Amino acid sequence: MKDLLKNIRELILSARTAVVHSVDLIQVLTNFEIGRRIVEHEQQGSKRAEYGKALLKALSAELTAEFGRGFSRSNLEYMRRFYLTYQDRTLRIAQAQSAIFLPDGKSQMPSGKFPGTSKSQIPSGKLVAPFSLSWSQYVFLTSIDNLDERRFYEIEADSNDWSLPELKCQFNSGLYERLALSRDKDGVRKLAAEGQIVAQPEDLLKEPYVLEFLGLDEQAKYSESDLETAIIDKLEHFLLELGKGFLFEARQKRFTFDEEHFFVDLVLYNRLLRCYVLIDLKIGKLTHQHLGQMQMYVNYFDRFVKLDDEHPTVGIILCRKKHDALVEITLPEDANIHAQEYRLYLPDKELLRQKLVEWGEEAERNRG
């Protein structure tokens, strides 16, 4: 009885989730088609901006009178912009609008076809939905001008099941820029094409980390112990800021070596990389002693803690101001240790973007 009840519950919940996603997809596809028809009508008539405004105003009045809310002039403009932004997906959208999905995952094509697309252009077989987010999320995404950045947030919102507020929060924190600034050119291209894929220790890094959720005053004095306590109190937020796959193990983890006790501020484990991640918190200037200490922590975990089938330990020093030259001269090139800056406030996205542009220009000069 219990197994039967469990199976039926799972079936019902799965069906309800599928219905919600289907409704979202139908709305998004319908709005895309409305936007397409508005754009094509404009192209056949006057191209003056005044004509477009008058058209949307008149169209809004007629549609609202017949169908009610949802067809304001601003919403119609969103649909128009949505089509212009994603018109490169027209073939995939044609598949989704024309296909009849069967229980076994196969599809048949009805006699009706998507306007402007011949049936012969639509390949058979299992189809991939052209859109996976809600309409409100796509309205927000169309406001992002940078194509790579927009693709990144669409992929991440889908893979992490972000709500609209969560999507806006990640955007406002400059997640794309902060990840991009800690990668090389190829890594930035992968961000746009695949989202954040954690396959090596460098994939965990951001520049900088944003700890504004801790509520610490940037101008007030606080100790490393205060910082650590605030992080533990907001551990869920901290793990989300660190990124994908992190699990918390301990704070002030003690180990003894040569009859002397040592304490690691935070010990985490990343299940995607299958490795320990040690975090040391520093509020002052980064020194070579800090780097040497972290190297010793990492060496100890690699030799006495990690299992044979686990990957090498990663050390991250979170500091107010890092010193790249000092890190480079102090640590060997293959060291799994990184000094990363943190901020107690949301960074200015424009400054992050400018920094990313300057970083790209510098990388091109170095290659030349």
In a domain, 165, yes or no: no
Look at residue 142 and tell me whether its pLDDT is greater than 80.
Answer: yes
For 178, the token pair is 């902060």
Domain count within the chain: 2
In a domain, 276, yes or no: yes
Mean pLDDT of 282-310: 93
Q: Are residues 101 and 18 in the same domain?
A: yes
In a domain, 157, yes or no: no
- Give the pLDDT band (50/70/90) at residue 229: very high
- Which residue type sits at 127? L
d(CA 242, CA 209): 8
- Give the pLDDT band (50/70/90) at residue 319: very high
Q: Are residues 102 and 213 in the same domain?
A: no
The range of the structural domain enclosing residue 84 comes to: 2-107+131-139
pLDDT of residue 104: 43
pLDDT of residue 4: 54
Mean pLDDT of 152-174: 94
- Give the pLDDT band (50/70/90) at residue 13: low
- Give the pLDDT band (50/70/90) at residue 357: confident
Q: Are residues 135 and 230 in the same domain?
A: no
d(CA 257, CA 299): 12
Look at residue 21 and tell me whether its pLDDT is greater than 70.
Answer: no
Q: Are residues 233 and 135 in the same domain?
A: no
Look at residue 29 and tell me whether its pLDDT is greater than 90.
Answer: no
Look at residue 94 and tell me whether its pLDDT is greater than 80.
Answer: no
pLDDT of residue 254: 94
Q: Are residues 135 and 7 in the same domain?
A: yes
Give CA separation, 254 vs 251, 261, 311, in Å.
Answer: 9, 7, 21
In a domain, 22, yes or no: yes
pLDDT of residue 184: 84
d(CA 61, CA 105): 41
Phi, then psi, of 288 in degrees rounded to 5:
-70, -25
Q: Are residues 339 and 214 in the same domain?
A: yes
Q: Are residues 333 and 231 in the same domain?
A: yes
Q: Which of the 8 DSSP states describes residue 346?
A: P
Percent of the chain exceeding pLDDT 70 equals 81
DSSP string computed for 39-90: HHHHHHS---HHHHHHHHHHHHHHHHHHH-SS--HHHHHHHHHHHHHHGGGH
In a domain, 194, yes or no: no
pLDDT of residue 14: 62
Residues 355 and 320 sit within 8 Å (Cβ to Cβ): no
Mean pLDDT of 211-228: 87
pLDDT of residue 268: 97
pLDDT of residue 118: 38
pLDDT of residue 126: 43
Look at residue 105 and tell me whether its pLDDT is greater than 70.
Answer: no
Q: Are residues 12 and 135 in the same domain?
A: yes
Q: Are residues 231 and 333 in the same domain?
A: yes
Q: Are residues 103 and 213 in the same domain?
A: no
Give CA separation, 101 vs 30, 46, 124, 208, 352, in Å.
Answer: 18, 40, 11, 45, 44
In a domain, 158, yes or no: no
In a domain, 121, yes or no: no
Mean pLDDT of 329-348: 88
pLDDT of residue 162: 94
Question: CB-based contacts of 179: which residues, under 8 Å, 6+ apart?
Answer: 191, 196, 205, 206
Q: Out of 91-95, 164-168, 251-255, 355-359, pick the least confident.
A: 91-95
In a domain, 327, yes or no: yes
DSSP string computed for 83-152: HHHHGGGHHHHHHHHH-EE-TTS-EE--S---TT--GGGS--SS---S--S-HHHHHHHTT---HHHHHH
pLDDT of residue 263: 96
Percent of the chain exceeding pLDDT 90 equals 47
Q: What is the pLDDT of residues 110-129, one digit of tens each?
A: 333 333 333 333 344 444 57
pLDDT of residue 43: 75
Which CATH number belongs to the domain containing residue 271 in this structure?
3.40.1350.10
